[in-house]
Amino acid sequence: MLRSPRFYVLAIIVFVAFAFLLPQNPIQTIRHAEDGAPPVDSSVASSKGQAPLGSSAHVKNSTLGFERIFVINLPERYDKLDAFSLAASVTGFTHDVIEGIKGSTVVNKTLPALEGLPKKERARNNIVGCWRAHLNFAQKIVRDRISSALVLEDDSDWDVSLKDQLADIATGSRYISGTPKTPRSPYGDDWDLLWLGHCSAQQDPSDTRRFVVENDATVPPPNHRQNFNKVPALNEMGYDNSTRIVFRAHDGVCLYSYALSFRGAQKVLRWQNNISKFYPIDIGIGYQCRDDAHFKCVAVFPQVVDSHKAAGRQSRDSDIGSFDPTKVREKGFTQNIVRSTRLNVENIMYGKAIQDQWPDVPQLTGPRRTRFD
């Protein structure tokens, strides 16, 4: 049956009116960062019932408040990736893999400097491979325009309360970086590197601000802390043995875990590709925190991520060290972590009681307290 022209005109009017009543696409609301970071969707957390953008509540999501999480893993170490993935799954975060690099595949002409490289081939390859893998992490952030990303080594371990710890660290990072009340990131918008897992970190002498967490049951007693260089002397600063601080970092060693912002990754790529003397990547990044006035590093002490030593053959521990293949470790351990996730995986999976690593951990009473110093 033929329709009259009036019918089609009426249908078009109804369609146009209906289209105007539809809600607008929220992705159209985009703010561009002034510091060179990728665009940020300001409507991501604007729905009813969600925490506002930049809230510390977002550190408890599946990427711990960062845009992405990565783990560095040599392709042949399936065992390490298995163990890491299991620990991450019971903690509740997702991750992608940055492939570890064998230093023998990195030729000297691609290195910014040869001075400082070990003479022995094995030592040279270990240092260069590690350096390149961490630069590939920074390159991934820049290439894919990731606003922030966390990276962990594949033998990393953390406390079962990691997300609660990160909520405090996020508050501290916002304070140290001088972030306004409405940041884009829960960790603030003016940091380059956030050092969560290290074996040494020193406070910038020109910035004495600290975010203090007191009566924290996840702080290891002093006799169970192990570090390889200088760390803040908490007792001399007037803090007791259950205190953790967040501060502007001046130097550091070991990269068990750290995060880079987009601009921080840019700065790492530029700095590391223009060095005049070659250093292991952790020392090089520590020196960048110390010597580059434009590179803003925030650290936490005691650290919240460390390296796990699993039960079994000690030769499985590391791919850059030499171990006696006959030595067997009866029980696994992680320095500096009170309630190791790796050692509590079965307890978490089967609803058993969480166990401290050491019998002499003080049993604290009362709530955790925070303050700005």
pLDDT in tens, the chain (373 residues): 444 555 444 444 444 444 444 443 332 222 333 344 454 433 333 334 456 656 777 899 999 999 999 999 999 999 999 999 999 999 999 999 999 999 999 999 999 999 999 999 999 999 999 999 999 999 999 999 999 999 999 999 999 999 999 999 999 999 999 877 778 899 999 999 999 999 999 999 999 999 999 999 999 999 999 998 899 999 999 999 999 999 999 999 999 999 999 999 999 999 999 999 999 999 999 999 999 999 999 999 999 999 999 887 876 776 666 667 778 888 999 999 999 999 999 999 999 999 999 999 999 999 999 999 9
End-to-end CA distance of the chain: 81
Helical (H) or strand (E) element with 91: helix 78-91
Helical (H) or strand (E) element with 137: helix 121-143
b/e code 268-286 from CB counts within 10 Å (16+ = b): bbebbeebeebbbbbbbbb
| pLDDT for 2 | 45
Is residue 206 within 8 A of residue 325, CB to CB? The reply is no
Helix axes 262-272, 281-291, angle to 10 degrees: 110
Is residue 79 within 8 A of residue 155, CB to CB? The reply is no
Contacts of 110 (CB under 8 A, 6+ apart): none
Q: How far apart are CA 216 and CA 68, in angstroms?
A: 28
| pLDDT for 251 | 92
Identify the three-state secondary structure at position 237. Answer: coil
Question: pTM for the whole thing?
Answer: 0.85
Longest dimension (CA), the chain: 93
Identify the three-state secondary structure at position 78. Answer: helix
Instruction: Give the alpha-carbon dihedral of 213, 217, 221, 225, to 10 degrees.
Output: -70
Identify the three-state secondary structure at position 45. Answer: coil
Sign of CA pseudo-dihedral 50, 55, 60, 61: positive
Do the bridges between strand 148-153 and strand 257-261 make them parallel or antiparallel, or are there none, so unpaired? antiparallel
| pLDDT for 47 | 36
What does the angle CA 266 – CA 270 – CA 272 come to, to the nearest 5 degrees?
A: 115
Residue 50 tokens, joined: 């969600």
Is residue 364 within 8 A of residue 215, CB to CB? The reply is yes
